[in-house]
Amino acid sequence: MPPLFPQVTGTFKLEEPPAFRRFSMSLVGMAVVAGVVLRLFWALVITQGPNDSLVFAGGMFALRLIVLFGMVTLHLGNFTLKHWVWRAPAFAAIEAVAESVAALVLILLQREPLGSARATMADWPAIASGTLFWRVTSIVAFAVLLAGVVQLVRYLLLKRAHRERTISAVHHDSAEQHHLK
């Protein structure tokens, strides 16, 4: 039986469906699906859920963040950390636009909740700008935290494998590239 973290990743027999892989690599596809699903989910929660339960509202808000950050993680996990610098904010912006368009459609259908009332066209600019601000802020903060965890785990795995020379070589290459810029 191979160890849990083999030295050579070729020992893994992972068969991922090509369609799912292609979808998870698509910045626009992942962000649009996340935005539309999360807006529809939130509209359903607000209109159909119990109005007096903070536990329910908090749980649904947490579930919404888990789905959002899960989609971001699925997408960013396909790329190196260097690409995260532009992919995380782009994902956030596209997700916010998709969510705002979904909110606009719900407003036109008179189904977009705004507190205990329905949102109107006059409310849409505030909804869209608030969504953009909070998505970019939360997704970029999450991506920075995730990048820190990824780097820490890489460092600890290299240290555990007694590959300190690799750690210093990576650090030296990184410092050299930074110095050249």
Single out the residue of 135, 132, 29 nearest to residue 78, CA to CA. 29
Higher pLDDT, 28 or 168: 28
Single out the residue of 85, 81, 91 nearest to residue 27, CA to CA. 91
Encoded tokens for 82: 């260097």
What pLDDT is attached to residue 1?
46
Residues 165-177 pLDDT 10s: 665 656 666 666 6
What pLDDT is attached to residue 99?
97
Cβ–Cβ under 8 Å, residues 59 and 42 = no
pTM over 0.85: no
